[in-house]
Chain A
Amino acid sequence: MRTTRKYKILQIFTLILGTLAMAAGSTVEAQNTPALTVAAAADLQPVLHSIGEEFRRQSGARVEFVFGSSGNLQTQIENGAPFDVFLSADRGHAEHVISAGKAARGDEKTYAIGKLVVWTPAGSKLDFSKSGLKTLLGSEVKAVAIANPAHAPYGQAAVAALQHEGLYDQVKAKLVLGENVAQAAQFASTGNAQAAMIAMALAQSPQLARAGNTWEVPASDYPPIEQVMVPLSGSRNPALARMFAEFMLSAPAQQVLRQFGFAPPESSR
């Protein structure tokens, strides 16, 4: 008796699952594909939405953004990811993509200079305006979050700044590494780390700007974070990819970048 009932239930389950699977299969094809897919470093997340909208208004082409760490995106591109443009958070990863033959040398252009800041959650008593990065030496600072300097440009900048101020050896034991700047910020915004050294752009995003305070690390403390882009040779629409790269340097896009705390590319020279 019992087993036949269980068997019935199993039958019904299989039927439902089968129907769902068919429904899922049919809807996937219905979605249209974007004209352009741009692989972008994580620190651009707050910025690119409005730039994409503006580009669409001007060109009529829909741009989709894929965010990740520059290192991950580089690996994906080198292994044939179908992206049209690569917006790296530094020069090195863009150079790698060129060396791997996935983009033409000479096409790479600096589109912005990133700024490093220290972000502290609201309610924190740390005041960086007085003694700068030395504030991190305080005993109330248990953990300082930075992006992993092994592969994240802002992590490298953070280490460079600490070294430049002669603080690295003392702060080293407090460093906790996020996979990227966004995760470093998360360590601090959840209250697990007392400060995070992250990208200005991220600190300016509505969520973080509301939830804490930002102090800009003096630009003389670290080498400029040149954010370099390159249109990819595997693009199915190379003309449009180039157009987007040019658009990143146009006045409207540069204005958005400035709003989020990036310095214009010419300021590095």
Chain B
Amino acid sequence: MNWQPFLLTARLAVLVSAVLLVAGLPIAYWITFSRWRWKFLVEAVVALPLVLPPTVLGYYLLVAFGDATAVGRWYRGLTGHTLAFTFEGLVVGSILYSLPFAVQPFAASFAGVDRHLLAASATLGASGWRTFWRVIVPLSVPGLVTGIALSFAHTVGEFGVVLMLGGNIPGVTRTVSIDIYDQAQMANFSAANQTALVLLVFSFVVLSLVYALNRRVWAVWPFQ
């Protein structure tokens, strides 16, 4: 069993869910509390990665990283190489790909917070910032955990985007899903099965841990 793809995938998924937690909070906050008339347009844009087939999204990212766009040329001028075929490129692609999986649960849980509590917090003199961290976030923990778990799982199982812009480089862009695909392509089905089984077990363990922690904290420990 080759563990390199597993380490790579774990690194990618952890990094992507961390970035999505940091980036997803303000986006979800804005989506929930903004009174802008056209905000539904932003909501629709955030949901778009759900609609685009992953390979199509990957293809457009490949084009965007290439010579055809200013961003692609700027990045190459800066670093001397393209963002495609690099770990950073996968991170960028995965963040876009999993964005709705973080933002939507975040926003849904923010929206579920009782507005009276926010008003009470404000009348007690708390700033918006303080209210966010002391009232909204603690009451939204289950939604935040769900968002993180979903983006983690979604990145672990990601295939199309990585296939399109990764270039299948061992240790850099050959993730577990690509590895399984290659083994299946070579008609190496027992190796593919083994890798898939390990992936399933690993993901099951991680997700169970996350959801176990997500139970109401005071209900986990029976003697309290």
Contact = CB atoms under 8 A, between A and B. Distances in A.
Given A142-B82, A148-B182, A183-B164, A192 B65 contact: yes
Interface string B68-87: 10001000000011101100
A121 B66 CA distance: 12
B68 A143 contact: no
Q: How large is the interface on A (under 10, 10 to 19, 20 to 34, 35 or more residues)?
A: 20 to 34
Interface string B159-185: 000011101110000000000011011
A176 B85 contact: yes
Contact of A151 (B67, B80, B163, B186): B186
Interface string A141-181: 01101001011000000000000000000000001111100
Nearest to B62: A190
Nearest to B163: A179
Interface in B9-38: none
Nearest to A173: B169
A74 interface: yes
A75 B186 CA distance: 10
B51 interface: no
B91 to A, nearest CB: 16
Closest 10 CB pairs of A and B: A191-B67, A176-B167, A190-B66, A177-B168, A191-B66, A151-B185, A192-B84, A71-B185, A192-B82, A176-B85
B62 A192 contact: yes
A190 B67 contact: yes
B74 to A, nearest CB: 13
B187 to A, nearest CB: 7
Given A72-B185, A143-B82, A151-B186, A176 B66 contact: no
B59 interface: yes
A176 B163 CA distance: 11
Interface in A175-230: 175-179, 183, 186-187, 190-193
Interface in B84-127: 84-85
Q: Which of A69, A150, A183, A192 has the most CB of B within 10 A?
A: A192
Contact of B167 (A69, A72, A121, A143): A143
A96 interface: yes
A123 B87 CA distance: 28
A243 B217 CA distance: 71
